[in-house]
Chain A
Amino acid sequence: DAGITQSPRHKVTETGTPVTLRCHQTENHRYMYWYRQDPGHGLRLIHYSYGVKDTDKGEVSDGYSVSRSKTEDFLLTLESATSSQTSVYFCAISEASGDTEQFFGPGTRLTVL
């Protein structure tokens, strides 16, 4: 299994509070991705990174920011959490761009009350 972890695994927070999710990899892969998974929508890309300090938006990036200061860590921040951001968040990594295999982290279940 690819070495990819997410923390925390579960979080309950209140509307308006900031939240940061962490994705950590030990594979030295260049690309890292944050997805959210919601019933009826499947997985949707929030942001991705193609190198240290190089990030770009996905299809559902509003309300989220990311940072990648080291190859192994990719942080997802909800500046002011809303109930619509209640979801399961998955991090993924890949060696190269989308036509290479992606490896997924175990997921973080976030509930915003």
Chain B
Amino acid sequence: KNEVEQSPQNLTAQEGEFITINCSYSVGISALHWLQQHPGGGIVSLFMLSSGKKKHGRLIATINIQEKHSSLHITASHPRDSAVYICAVTSSNFGNEKLTFGTGTRLTIIP
């Protein structure tokens, strides 16, 4: 069983739609990370959060510690948002130096 589960695995939407990607985890965490990987491979850190909500441009990340759940939202989606979005956590269960990753959500935005 993967300690970090993402849903959906694949998501296709029309340009302009509001997008939600979910991440659930099964252990106590010290931080949760959202990463973006475009076709061609580069991985970029979007957010790191341990409580509440963060916003950067059209991206919003929220976390509910009690429910062990985080969401990544994209408003007014655009084809350039097409990428794989990866959730990862750090936890004392795994050693706080290390990230444990979900398998990613592949997002495709159709013009």
Interface residues of A (CB under 8 A from B): 31, 33, 40-45, 48, 50, 56, 58, 88, 90, 92, 97-104, 106-107
Contacts and interface: CB of A to CB of B under 8 A. Distances in A.
Contacts, number: 61
Contacts of B35: 104
B96 A98 contact: yes
B43 interface: yes
Interface residues of B, number: 23
Contacts of A102: 33, 45, 99
A104 B42 contact: yes
B101 A98 contact: no
Nearest to A100: B48
A25 to B, nearest CB: 15
Interface string B85-100: 0101010000111110
Contact of B41 (A31, A58, A107): A107
Contacts of B86: 42-43
Contact of B48 (A42, A88, A99): A99
Contacts of A41: 103
The residue among B96, B101, B102 with the most chain A CB atoms within 10 A of its own CB is B101
Contacts of A101: 33, 45, 48
A43 B4 CA distance: 12
Contacts of A56: 97
Contacts of B41: 88, 106-107
B101 A42 contact: yes
Nearest to A44: B101
B101 A99 contact: no
Contacts of A45: 98-99
B97 A43 contact: no
A92 B97 CA distance: 12
Given A45-B98, A99-B50, 10 more contacts: A42-B86, A42-B101, A43-B43, A43-B101, A50-B97, A92-B43, A97-B90, A101-B48, A102-B33, A107-B42
